[in-house]
A = this chain, B = another copy of it.
Amino acid sequence: MNRQTLEKFYRLKLKKPLKSSAKRSLVVEYFMNRDRHFSVEELYNEIRKMNFKISYSTVYRTLNLLTKLGLARECIFKDGMLRFEPVHGPKHHDHLVCERCGKIIEFEEPKIEKLQEEVARRHKFLVDWHRMELYGLCAECRKKEKL
């Protein structure tokens, strides 16, 4: 997420006009500095730890805004908890999720995406978006497993 996100954020038009606000900017800034999946609680705690006063309501509201604006993406893995990740560009990626340590690895595999399109065509289905997650053990956890 680049430096101009905050300005970009306020330039973007929604149904309703946005007033600039310190609290919201705070959330956007901390969001900007994340580069991986995080839970709302994590972000909330991080901001709190810095002695900024903020409410969960505002954190949720701002993250939902960022999502509508296309700057954030919701990720809901097996545990069912809402997470967000910054959207860095038009490139799509999918996830490997370690069921032991929770680590999340991102990957891209164009060959799979091609085949997905083929499956869709076969069913005369028009794909808007997809999600694919592979759950299992990461390299580190496999090593520990063997000891």
Contacts and interface: CB of A to CB of B under 8 A. Distances in A.
Nearest to A107: B119
A135 B139 contact: no
Q: How large is the interface on A (under 10, 10 to 19, 20 to 34, 35 or more residues)?
A: 20 to 34
A112 interface: yes
Interface stretch (A5-13, A18-26, A53-61, A123-131): A123-131
Interface in A93-147: 96, 98-99, 105, 107, 109, 111-112, 115-116, 118-120, 122-139, 142
A84 to B, nearest CB: 15
Given A96-B123, A107-B123, A123-B105, A116 B139 contact: no
A5 to B, nearest CB: 26
Contacts of A124: 138-139, 142
Interface of A: 76, 80, 96, 98-99, 105, 107, 109, 111-112, 115-116, 118-120, 122-139, 142
**7 closest pairs, A vs B, by CB?**
A124-B139, A128-B136, A132-B132, A127-B136, A130-B134, A126-B137, A126-B136
